Amino acid sequence: MSYQYLLDKKVYSPKGVKKLFGKTVKEEKDEIEKVLTLGKYQKLREMWYVSFFVLAIKNKYSEEYYICPSDYPDTHLIKNIGPNQEGFPVEVMTIYDFYQKEFNGNYDELIEKICFKKQKRDYGRSTLLLINRIQSKRFNITHFARLLNQKRLPFERIWLGLFREFNKDWTFFDIYPLSNFKNITQINYNFKDAERLFF
Give the separation between CA 185 and CA 97, rounded to whole angstroms.
27
CA distances from 114 to 74, 129, 168 (A): 16, 11, 26
User: Residue 61: in which H helix or E strand, if any?
Assistant: helix 42-61
pLDDT in tens, 2-32: 334 344 468 899 999 999 999 999 999 999 9
Give the separation between CA 154 and CA 108, rounded to whole angstroms.
19
For residue 4, report the phi and psi dihedrals to the nearest 5 degrees: -140, 130
pTM: 0.90
Neighbours of 179 (CB within 10 A): 6
* pLDDT at residue number 71: 84
Any idea how long the chain is?
Answer: 199
Percent of the chain at pLDDT > 90 equals 64
Does the pLDDT of residue 82 top 80, yes or no?
Answer: no
